[in-house]
A = this chain, B = another copy of it.
Amino acid sequence: MKRNPRRAVMSLAAIVFGLAATLTHAQDQLPSWNDGPAKQAILEFVKATTQGGSQFVPPEARIATFDQDGTLWVEHPMYTQVMYCLERVPDLVKARPELKDKPPFNTVLELLHGDRAAMEKLNMKDLELIAAATLTGMPVDQFNGEVKKWISAAKDARWKRPYTQLTYQPMQELLRYLRANGYKTYIVTGGGQDFVRVYAEQTYGIPPEQVVGTAGGTKYGYGKGGKPFLTKDPQMLLNDNNAGKPEGIHLMIGQRPVAAFGNSTGDQQMLEYTKAGEGTRLAMIVLHDDAEREYAYGPAERLPVTKVGTFTQALFDEAKKNGWTIVSMKDDWKRIFPFENQ
């Protein structure tokens, strides 16, 4: 028999990796999760779907989708992307002076230098106008550069830290744990796909192609010397909220997730769609019930209702009825942020 040196090497590698997997498994990969039903559900789900048996899911079908705002990082009191749009207004009116005295841009300019909290009062139509003007109409590369610059400098008002530091440590551990078990992790956000793609790799280890979000079209054209480039178009292609989440998942991923994670009514259909697949599925919903360490808002009976991340009583009831796992930030999370002392 002829010896195949490549096969011999691969077998050795398999042994080495098997050993590495065993060593890693022995450690607790979710140290920021308290022991309890939520952590247990995660461990059982991963065991059932990756270690053989009737519920085994082949690696190519291991898709896990995560909402971003309120699920992976803080969304309160205002979505980070809305802050971006508002804080872009001064540069916008510099480039387009005709907007300076026009509502809602004049109002935003005033509030940025005064009562910032009053910006919550801007209505949906105002926000849409501001979003269109700050998120579209420029080359893709220019937009990416502007977001990159802003996100590295802007700070949250409460923690005085960059927004990208306000991710939830338990969810970061969960992302890594799923990836270590062969899951492809996706962000499926109601936020702007192009916006989130700028920082998702560095912030969550999720590459641009695994970020699904609300997306507009682009227009291909030629610049100086015939160099081709894409311009961001205001036309909306995908409103990645509510029913738009499973629709966006089909468009961008083409497979039904095996696990999904959300925190609001905008995630309901993604969680339903995931849970309705065959075999073991994991649907989890984060309940913001920790006013001290983060914020408390949610089902009206128990917590204050806010404008962002609507977690209604109906959603809470559906979660219980459909066997979604409810994650209590207060009870299930030992530590909220990566920067906290361990």
Determine if A193 and B5 form an interchain contact, defined as CB atoms under 8 angstroms apart.
no
For A193, A201, A276, which residue has the most chain B Cβ atoms within 10 angstroms? Answer: A276
B residues near A23, Cβ cutoff 8 Å? 5-6, 9
B residues near A211, Cβ cutoff 8 Å? 254
Q: How long is the Cα–Cα vector from A184 to B250 in the complex, in angstroms?
A: 20
Binds B, one of A93-101, A146-154, A212-220, A281-289: A212-220
Determine if B218 and A251 form an interchain contact, defined as CB atoms under 8 angstroms apart.
yes
Interface assignment of A230: CB less than 8 Å from any CB of chain B: yes
Q: Would you list which residues of chain A between 258 and 293 have a CB under 8 Å from chain B?
A: 269, 272-273, 276
Q: How long is the Cα–Cα vector from A11 to B255 in the complex, in angstroms?
A: 35
Chain B, Cβ-Cβ closest to A184: B209
The binding surface of chain A is classed by DSSP as: helix
Determine if A255 and B20 form an interchain contact, defined as CB atoms under 8 angstroms apart.
no
Determine if A272 and B184 form an interchain contact, defined as CB atoms under 8 angstroms apart.
no
Contact of A228 (CB < 8 Å), options: B20, B255, B269: B269
Interface assignment of A13: CB less than 8 Å from any CB of chain B: yes
Contact of A253 (CB < 8 Å), options: B10, B209, B238: B209
Interface assignment of A299: CB less than 8 Å from any CB of chain B: no
Determine if B197 and A254 form an interchain contact, defined as CB atoms under 8 angstroms apart.
yes
B residues near A276, Cβ cutoff 8 Å? 227-229
B residues near A215, Cβ cutoff 8 Å? 251
Interface assignment of A16: CB less than 8 Å from any CB of chain B: yes
For A197, A252, A254, which residue has the most chain B Cβ atoms within 10 angstroms? Answer: A254
Contact of A250 (CB < 8 Å), options: B5, B9, B17, B230: B230
B residues near A24, Cβ cutoff 8 Å? 6
Task: List the 10 closest A-B pairs by CB distance, nearest first.
Answer: A208-B254, A220-B243, A9-B20, A13-B16, A209-B253, A197-B254, A218-B247, A228-B272, A228-B273, A218-B250
Chain B, Cβ-Cβ closest to A17: B13
- Say how far A216's CB is from chain B's closest CB, in angstroms: 9
Determine if B209 and A254 form an interchain contact, defined as CB atoms under 8 angstroms apart.
yes
Interface assignment of A19: CB less than 8 Å from any CB of chain B: yes
